[in-house]
Amino acid sequence: MSIWRTGLSPSSCLRRMQRLRKSGVIDRIVAILNPARAGRGIKALVTVELKLHGEAHMRRFLDIASSEDAVSQAYAVTSETDVVLMLRLRDMEEFDSLCDRLFRDETNVARFFTMMIIRTAKEETAIPL
């Protein structure tokens, strides 16, 4: 926030940010890195169908997926698909290794489909208030 956009002084902006953080509206404050410059220029979206269903099976897979550095987002979803993963990868070798770890028999995956992102039209982290 700046005085130009909010009409508030820097100290008023700081107090407002602190109130929003304390109330839980602001979850966390982060730096948004340029993925390509940070060495993770390949982006992929993976849909996953599990063999066994139920909360325990879903939670186990999400825990495994969330522990991977290349997984930037992991969602349990409704549909024929059980899980959607957003990956930020260094290279295809990293993707191959990740597939070995995430989609083998012990992880309860029936099948997975990968879509390599070739162009991003919109990728926003801001939520309008």
Distance separating alpha carbons of residues 121 and 26, to the nearest angstrom: 26
If one counts the domains in the chain, the total is 2
Say if CB 101 and CB 68 are below 8 A apart: yes
Q: Check whether 2 has a pLDDT greater than 50.
A: no
Same domain, 22 and 84: no
Distance separating alpha carbons of residues 125 and 101, to the nearest angstrom: 29
Same domain, 67 and 99: yes
Q: Would you place residue 4 in the very low, low, confident or very high pLDDT band (cuts 50, 70, 90)? A: low
CATH of the domain at 66: 3.30.70.920
123 located within any domain: no
Q: Check whether 50 has a pLDDT greater than 90.
A: yes
Same domain, 53 and 21: no
Q: Would you place residue 105 in the very low, low, confident or very high pLDDT band (cuts 50, 70, 90)? A: confident
Lowest mean pLDDT among 2-6, 45-49, 87-91, 121-125: 2-6
81 by Cβ neighbours in 10 Å (0-12 / 13-18 / 19+) ranks as middle
121 located within any domain: no
| 89 vs 17: which has the higher pLDDT | 89
Same domain, 82 and 108: yes
Same domain, 18 and 77: no
Distance separating alpha carbons of residues 60 and 83, to the nearest angstrom: 12
Extract long-range pairs of 29-38: CB within 8 Å, 24+ residues apart: 32/125, 35/88
Same domain, 24 and 47: no
pLDDT at residue 55, as a whole number: 95
Same domain, 77 and 18: no
Q: Check whether 1 has a pLDDT greater than 50.
A: no
Distance separating alpha carbons of residues 68 and 120, to the nearest angstrom: 23
Containing domain of residue 71, as a range?
42-116
Q: What is the mean predicted confidence (pLDDT) over 90-97?
A: 97
72 located within any domain: yes
Same domain, 51 and 93: yes
Same domain, 47 and 110: yes
127 located within any domain: no
Secondary structure element (H or E) that encloses residue 73, with its range: strand 71-76
Distance separating alpha carbons of residues 88 and 85, to the nearest angstrom: 10
pLDDT at residue 128, as a whole number: 81
